[in-house]
């Protein structure tokens, strides 16, 4: 029974991790029937296994989730956020039960009626009404079991896999040494043929054993969507999360070592990398932030990139924070380069968080991430764009593995290059090769095709050995994992071998030039070159084929273009169409009662405060109790445009298909692959501009008193400004003016008000303290605005 329980816990842990990510993906697209069916099968598997092991709590939880999902599959229940949240709660409770099972060996006592009961909650709000696919009959238990049994596997302990991998490694090294002895002894051809058959068998066995420990990296990515969803809700942020490269394979042990650093980086980005909504709008960014996690393989290394479009890092702010935290001294700070300023984030005890939270701010962060990566031969790199976002690159060895390598020589030292990255090998003296100097670099032309030429000695910081025969110098056309090919010049080419690759020392891996170390058949350690790292270290852009390229200048130009680009407010109008208008012409988005709109002289108008504005509408909108209006402003006049909802703020594309004639629609652009009509504010203001100048009367001045906890600044002030009041706090003053009204926020007696300023007193409780209590409940908006209007009118 212990073996069965261990197998159940291992399988269930994988299922729960996969189900969490699948649920978040399904929430974004509830009509995805395939995703729903996959989640149903996962939960069904847990229910079946737990019932066999007599785990009543696990069975009840999984059965409740399965039943709710089956109702959606049959079309009897709508998919909504409440359902997804309830099923996620079931997943969390199952994880806790499995953790207890793994510790004690038995299911703990407890009551799960709270999370099971949450599945019965049905959210009837507009956001929850999602169109589902046509319901189909649920598959039978026999069909589900047949599908689950279509692929069989056996669980093997990791120590046993390590032992097998070590044995195969020794066999490969012995094979290499035996091959060298056979070449030197000049044995009969039949012996060589027999050895070749043995070598092929060893190669096949090596490939199979290497794949045993490999897992797709999407197993590492699977918990991230849930983490992003939960933290985004906690912080009130809108985040679009995406992953790519999930098909890349990584050693299981290596994956376990980088799981925590990756999760820490993603949580850090959400906490204080991504700005709050108002900050993003203020700097012209879209309301929805983005975090992208991608993976790719380069030789024997895996590169994981975490990119966000948040505020990035401020080098000067990092230095100031480091000095205040006494991480460095002022004298040391003055000598820091821009790169060293960014690297301050890796100092122990350093944090950029403004305050301590459950996510960050305790000074235990990026230094631990860097230390954990260096333990396994990995490196971490920062690519910062202040104000635009931060990219963190993690480079880790793929595995302790065996690859086919090409041995080369430069400056008397031997190096290895992955055979899969070699496109062609030529001699420099070949008639098909021409080498030219272009600016400060060299360009190799091979049969009419041009490649940037790198000399390995120069990239490694050494000199070309004059004693070596220059006629033997060879050119290797290298095809890196990304980008264009380039030419690598070396002193000589030697034989290719099957190489056992291990991580090199952290200081060596940190150079970015090497992907690991190996031990060929001669017994001398050799470094494996990182073909992508060589190109980066040489500072050459292969896509430009020898032309000079200033990456920093280009980045600065792109940043300037982004800052100067026009911003477009996307909205859904009252007819349900998606349209856009330049953000710069919008004064504000107003929400007014439907009763504030009326028709006069054939024109729909809106009363907002003491002003009346024209509204672009043929008839007075009917239906909703409140109407959203875009207030378009040209510096003199205001025009209101009714809408249904604001969608997002995006960059206005350069390509605009103009309208055939002047009118409401200026043209059409593509946003996210979908056509969006552009409103023409020039045409609109021309139709309605005359006589619509807003009132120039003085706005009343309102003082907020006794705001110790900041409630009035955060909650009340926006309401008052929206209603047409100017607002000052505490001891603030406006020269030459006295407040028209004063709001007092304390319960109980009120101190005398200087200057006989009309007073409105707010209380925190709903009910008044007695018949003489003239205070107003602070969340009674209507009574508050009416009291202010009466006080201001009485004082004037």
Buried b (16+ CB within 10 A) or exposed e, 736-750: eeebbbbbbbbeeee
What DSSP character marks residue 785? H
- What gap in Å lies between CA 448 and CA 454, rounded to an integer? 18
Supply φ then ψ for residue 266, to 5 degrees. Answer: -65, -45
Residue 674 dihedral angles phi and psi, to the nearest 5°: -115, 140
Residue 498 or residue 659, greater confidence: 659
Task: Give me the mean pLDDT over the 658-663 stretch.
Answer: 83
pLDDT at residue 559 is higher than 60 = no
Which pLDDT score, from 0 to 100, does residue 290 have?
93
The number of C-alpha atoms within 13 Å of 297 and in the hemisphere containing its C-beta is: 15
pLDDT tens-digit series, residues 497-525:
767 777 777 778 778 788 778 776 666 78
Q: What was the pLDDT predicted at 391?
A: 93
Torsion sign (Cα): 293, 296, 302, 307? negative
750: confidence class by pLDDT, cuts 50, 70, 90: low
Q: Judge whether residue 622 has pLDDT over 90.
A: no
Those residues whose C-beta lies under 8 Å from the C-beta of residue 324, and which sit 6 or more positions away, are none
CA dihedral 446, 448, 450, 453 (to 10 degrees): 30
Whether the pLDDT of residue 725 is over 90: the answer is: no
| pLDDT tens digits along 188-240 | 878 888 888 888 888 788 777 777 777 888 888 888 888 898 888 888 899 99
Per the DSSP assignment, residues forming a β-bridge with 498 are 404
Cα dihedral angle (499, 502, 505, 509), rounded to 10 degrees?
Answer: 70
Q: What is the pLDDT of residues 252-273, one digit of tens each?
A: 777 878 888 898 899 889 987 8
Q: Would you call 474 helix, strand, or coil by DSSP? A: strand
Question: Closest by alpha carbon to 565, among 650, 676, 635, 639?
Answer: 650
Q: Say how far apart CA 30 and CA 80 lie, in whole Å.
A: 8
Cα(645)–Cα(242) distance, integer angstroms: 25
User: What pLDDT, on a 0 to 100 scale, did the predictor assign at position 691?
Assistant: 38
Q: Which residues contact 218 (CB under 8 A, 6 or more apart)?
A: 243, 246, 247
- In this prediction, residue 182 carries a pLDDT of 81
What integer is the mean pLDDT of 566-585?
85
The pLDDT-based confidence of 781 (bands split at 50, 70, 90) is confident
pLDDT digits (tens, 9 = 90+) for 465-496: 766 666 678 898 887 655 568 899 998 888 77
153 pLDDT band, cuts 50/70/90, is low
Percent of the chain with pLDDT over 70: 82
User: What are residue 392's DSSP bridge partners?
Assistant: 306, 382
Q: Is 386 exposed, middle or buried (0-12, 13-18, 19+ CB in 10 A)?
A: middle
pLDDT reading at 305 higher than 90: yes
The per-residue pLDDT for 565 is: 55
Q: How confident is the model at residue 130 (pLDDT cuts 50, 70, 90)?
A: very low
SS3 for 746? Answer: coil
Q: Give the pLDDT score at 239.
A: 92
Q: What angle do helix axes 33-52 and 56-73 make, rounded to 10 degrees?
A: 160
Orientation of helix 158-185 relative to helix 189-212, angle to 10°? 160
The answer for residues whose C-beta is within 8 angstroms of residue 554's C-beta and 6 or more apart is none
Sign of CA pseudo-dihedral 43, 47, 50, 56? positive
pLDDT of 398: 67
pLDDT at 694 over 60: no
Q: How far is residue 656's CA from residue 680's CA, in Å, rounded to a whole number?
A: 13
Q: DSSP of 530-591, one letter per residue?
A: -HHHHHHHHT--GGGTT----HHHHHHHHHHHHHHSPEEEEEEETTS-EEEEEGGGEEEEEE
Cα dist. 446→148, 487, 544 in Å?
54, 9, 16
pLDDT, average across residues 105-116 = 85
Cβ atoms 702, 720 nearer than 8 A: yes
DSSP state of 509: H
- Alpha carbon 730 to its chain centroid, in Å, reads 41
**pLDDT tens digit sequence for 65-77:** 888 888 888 888 8
Which residue is listed with tokens 């290499």?
Answer: 176
Percentage of residues of the chain with pLDDT beyond 90 = 5
Q: Which residue has the tokens 């609109």?
A: 684
Query: Which are the contacts of 54, defined by CB distance < 8 A and separation ≥ 6?
Result: none
CA dist., res. 107 & res. 690, Å (int):
77
Q: What span, in angstroms and rounded, lies between the C-alpha atoms of 485 and 480?
A: 6
Residue 292 predicted with pLDDT over 90: yes
**Mean pLDDT estimate for the chain:** 78
Write the pLDDT tens digit of every residue in 1-24.
Answer: 466 677 778 788 888 888 888 888
Provide the Cα torsion 250, 256, 262, 263; round to 10°.
Answer: 140
| Both structure tokens of 571 | 């909205």
Report pLDDT digits (tens) over 519-552: 766 667 888 888 877 877 777 654 443 333 344 4
In 3D space, the residue among 754, 737, 735, 729 whose CA is nearest the CA of residue 698 turns out to be 737
Tell me the pLDDT band of 574, cut-offs 50, 70 and 90.
confident
Q: What share of the chain is helix, strand, coil (3-state, %, to 5)?
A: 40, 25, 35
């Amino acid at each position: 029974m212990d073996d069965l329980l261990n197998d159940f816990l291992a399988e269930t842990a994988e299922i729960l991790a996969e189900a969490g990510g699948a649920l978040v993906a399904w929430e974004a697209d509830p009509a995805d029937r395939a995703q729903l069916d996959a989640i149903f099968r996962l939960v069904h598997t847990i229910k079946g296994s737990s019932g066999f092991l007599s785990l009543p709590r696990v069975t009840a939880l999984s059965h409740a989730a399965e039943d709710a999902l089956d109702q959606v599959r049959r079309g009897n229940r709508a998919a909504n956020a409440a359902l997804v949240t309830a099923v996620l709660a079931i997943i969390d409770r199952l994880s806790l039960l499995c953790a207890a099972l793994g510790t004690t060996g038995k299911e703990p006592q407890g009551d799960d009626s709270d999370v099971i009961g949450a599945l019965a909650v049905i959210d009837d709000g507009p956001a929850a009404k999602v169109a589902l696919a046509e319901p189909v009959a649920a598959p039978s238990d026999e069909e589900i079991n047949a599908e689950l049994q279509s692929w069989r596997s056996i669980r093997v302990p990791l120590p046993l896999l390590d032992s097998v991998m070590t044995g195969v490694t020794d066999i490969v090294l012995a094979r290499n040494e035996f091959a060298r002895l056979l070449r030197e002894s000049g044995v009969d051809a039949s012996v060589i043929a027999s050895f070749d058959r043995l070598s092929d068998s060893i190669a096949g066995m090596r490939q199979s054993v290497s794949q045993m420990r490999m897992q797709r990296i999407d197993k590492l990515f699977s918990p991230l969507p849930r983490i992003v969803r939960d933290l985004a809700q906690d912080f009130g942020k809108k985040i679009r999360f995406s992953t790519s490269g999930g098909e890349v394979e990584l050693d299981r042990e290596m994956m376990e070592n980088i799981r925590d650093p990756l999760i820490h980086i993603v949580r850090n980005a959400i906490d204080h990398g991504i700005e709050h909504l108002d900050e993003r709008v203020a700097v012209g960014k879209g309301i929805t932030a983005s975090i992208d996690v991608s993976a790719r393989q380069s030789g024997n290394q895996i590169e994981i990139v975490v990119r966000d479009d948040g505020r990035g890092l401020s080098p000067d702010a990092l230095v100031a924070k480091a000095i205040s935290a006494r991480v460095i001294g002022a004298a040391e700070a003055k000598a820091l380069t821009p790169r060293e300023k960014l690297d301050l984030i890796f100092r122990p005890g350093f944090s950029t968080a403004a305050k301590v939270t459950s996510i960050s701010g305790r000074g235990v962060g990026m230094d631990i991430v860097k230390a954990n990566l260096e333990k396994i031969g990995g490196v971490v790199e920062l690519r910062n764009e202040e104000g635009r976002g931060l990219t963190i690159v993690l480079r880790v060895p793929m595995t302790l593995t065996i690859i086919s390598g090409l041995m080369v020589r430069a400056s008397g030292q031997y190096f290895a290059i992955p055979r899969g990255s070699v496109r062609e090998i030529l001699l420099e003296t070949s008639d098909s090769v021409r080498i030219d100097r272009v600016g400060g670099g060299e360009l190799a032309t091979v049969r009419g095709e041009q490649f940037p030429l790198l000399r390995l000695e120069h990239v490694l910081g050494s000199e070309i050995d004059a004693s070596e025969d220059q006629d033997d110098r060879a050119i290797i056309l290298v095809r890196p994992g990304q980008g264009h090919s380039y030419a690598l010049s070396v002193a000589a080419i030697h034989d290719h071998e099957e190489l056992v690759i291990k991580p090199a020392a952290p200081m060596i891996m940190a150079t970015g030039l090497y992907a690991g170390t190996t031990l060929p058949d001669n017994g001398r350690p050799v470094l494996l070159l990182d073909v992508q790292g060589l190109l980066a270290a040489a500072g050459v852009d292969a896509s430009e084929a020898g032309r000079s390229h200033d990456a920093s200048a280009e980045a600065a130009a792109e940043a300037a273009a982004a800052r100067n680009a026009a911003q477009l407010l996307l909205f859904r109008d009252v007819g349900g169409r998606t349209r856009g208008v330049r953000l710069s012409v919008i004064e504000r988005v107003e929400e007014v009662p439907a009763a504030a709109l009326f028709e006069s002289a054939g024109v729909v108008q809106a009363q907002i405060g003491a002003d009346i504005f024209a509204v672009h509408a043929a008839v007075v909108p009917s239906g909703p109790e409140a109407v959203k209006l875009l207030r378009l402003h040209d510096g003199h006049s205001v025009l209101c445009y009714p809408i249904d909802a604001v969608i997002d703020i995006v960059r206005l594309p350069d390509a605009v298909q103009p309208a055939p004639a002047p009118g409401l629609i200026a043209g059409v652009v593509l946003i996210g692959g979908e056509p969006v009509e552009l409103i023409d504010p020039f045409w609109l203001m021309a139709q309605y501009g005359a006589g619509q100048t807003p009132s120039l009367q003085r706005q009343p001045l309102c003082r907020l008193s006794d705001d110790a906890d900041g409630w009035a600044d955060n909650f009340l002030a926006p309401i008052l400004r929206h209603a047409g009041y100017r607002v000052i706090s505490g001891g603030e003053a406006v020269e030459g003016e006295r407040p028209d009204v004063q709001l007092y926020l304390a319960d109980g007696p009120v101190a005398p008000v200087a200057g006989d300023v009309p007073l409105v007193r707010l209380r925190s409780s709903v009910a008044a303290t007695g018949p003489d209590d003239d205070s107003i409940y602070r969340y009674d908006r209507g009574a508050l605005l009416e009291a202010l209007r009466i006080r201001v009118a009485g004082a004037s």
